[in-house]
Amino acid sequence: MRIAVLQATSAVGHVDANLDILTAAAGDAADGGADILVTPELFPTGYAPARIHHLDGAPVRQAVSQLAERSGIAVVASTVEQADSGRFITATLFGSDGTQVLHYRKSHLFGTEEQFFTAGTELSRIVRFGDLTVALGICYDVEFPEYVRALAVGGADLVLVPTAVPTRVSSTFDAAAVPGLLVPARALENTVAIAYANQCGTGFAGRSCIVAPDGSIAAQTEGGAKLIFADITSETIRGARVDNPYLRSRRLDLY
């Protein structure tokens, strides 16, 4: 499977302009032979919880469904979902025919998200997509080893992660460690591939990446807008799981 990851800057509240960026990226990803395009967290609305939490994501998801079908490529997009049970940050995988394949509500909220959104209460479902099994996570989810481990134990080969990691630098923490250290660690310790699509521009850390199941970086970019590609196959996943016994060596009698 050829995976494309979009790193770009979206304009808060300018849905049509942001969708134009996604449409162009889907066309470029399809031209590059990609089977699937992963895009950043809340890209269609812009990432600003206080300003976009009230928006209805249903029309946006319909628009992404249509652009996936027009481009002939599967697309992962993140939107707001309004529901009787709350307001959620979500990610949806649309197939190349525009059908909804997966829909997931973010379960780990970060910072001001907690003021405006409700945390999801279920893991992503895991579905067969091409020759791999895929699942979704959103941003902060992947920073919790338990989340990715649960997906791996459930049978996931590939985790698709829209994200909007802000630039955060202190004496004890640099947000660049998330894509630089944590995402490769999640892939290695679970023998899964991870496609991690971050916003870029002012206030965002960038460094989107595609990580192989041995923890190696298959593709990565730095701070600017870019489309990156990598090939992940079922043979790659199987080889990593033969060589790396982490999942087999778990001591379920102890923990």
> For 69-98, how does the pLDDT look when each residue is reduced to its tens digit (9 = 90+)?
999 999 999 999 999 999 999 999 999 999
| Element (DSSP H or E) covering residue 90 | strand 86-94
Instruction: Give the other-Cβ count within 10 Å of 166's Cβ.
Output: 14
The residue with tokens 């899964």 is 192
pTM: predicted TM-score of the whole model, two decimal places: 0.97
What pLDDT score does 253 carry? 96
Mean pLDDT, the chain, rounded, equals 97
What pLDDT score does 168 carry? 87
* Domain 2-243 falls under CATH 3.60.110.10: yes
What sign for the dihedral angle of Cα 139, 144, 145, 148? negative
**CB of 26 closer than 8 Å to CB of 73:** yes
**179: alpha, beta or left? (left if phi > 0; alpha if psi -120 to 50):** alpha
Phi, then psi, of 151 in degrees rounded to 5:
-65, -40
**CB of 201 closer than 8 Å to CB of 9:** yes
Residue extents of the structural domains in the chain: 2-243
C-alpha to C-alpha distance for 34 and 99, rounded to whole angstroms: 18
> For 128-162, how does the pLDDT look when each residue is reduced to its tens digit (9 = 90+)?
999 999 999 999 999 999 999 999 999 999 999 99
Maximal C-alpha separation, the chain: 53
**CB of 160 closer than 8 Å to CB of 93:** yes
Sites in the chain below the pLDDT cut of 70: none
